């Protein structure tokens, strides 16, 4: 089953985790075969200024070359550092973001997003 947008339960779970400062969101992205990459580029062009406004930053964006362990293959891998959970929530509820997110939905055939906490 593809995973494109968060479920209601996942949004509720996000509200339950503590806001312990900066975190990195790991995005594993698989694009639709017809225009997915281009649609994601459009989404990115609209979202990067929002990221900058909330103090977040892209720390890595690269293409999947080979799955070394496992069966999943991803077209792109994106790492975004957010200053806080509150800043992430600010982004996803921002009106400009809401106007851009349809490009992300159109672009993806599957995705995984992981909120990660630094261990050091």
Tens-digit pLDDT profile for residues 2-44: 899 999 999 999 999 999 999 999 999 999 999 999 999 999 9
Tell me what pLDDT residue 25 has.
Answer: 98
What span, in angstroms and rounded, lies between the C-alpha atoms of 20 and 33? 38
Q: Is the pLDDT of residue 1 over 90?
A: no
Q: What is the largest CA-CA distance in the chain?
A: 41
Tell me what pLDDT residue 86 has.
Answer: 97
For the 35-116 domain, the top CATH level (class) is alpha beta
Domain residue spans of the chain: 35-116
Q: Residue 104's closest CA among 32, 14, 12?
A: 32
What integer is the mean pLDDT of 61-82?
A: 96
Q: Residue 85's closest CA among 27, 8, 14, 28?
A: 14
For 20, list phi and psi in degrees, rounded to 5: -100, 30
Cross-strand partners of 23:
82
Tell me what pLDDT residue 39 has.
Answer: 98
Q: Is 1 helix (H, G, I), strand (E, B) or coil?
A: coil
Q: Report the Cα–Cα distance between both ends of the chain, in Å, rounded.
A: 35
Mean pLDDT, the chain, rounded, equals 97
Q: Is the pLDDT of residue 110 over 90?
A: yes
């Amino acid at each position: 089953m593809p995973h494109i947008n968060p479920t209601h339960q996942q949004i509720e779970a996000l509200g339950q985790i503590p806001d312990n400062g900066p975190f990195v969101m790991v995005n594993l992205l698989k694009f639709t075969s017809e225009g997915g990459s281009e649609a994601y580029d459009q989404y990115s062009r609209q979202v990067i200024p929002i990221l900058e406004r909330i103090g977040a930053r892209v720390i890595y964006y690269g293409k999947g070359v080979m799955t070394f362990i496992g069966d999943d293959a991803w077209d792109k891998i994106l790492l975004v550092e957010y200053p806080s959970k509150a800043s992430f929530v600010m982004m996803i509820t921002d009106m400009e973001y809401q106007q851009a997110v349809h490009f992300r939905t159109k672009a993806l055939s599957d995705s995984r997003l992981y909120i990660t906490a630094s261990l050091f």
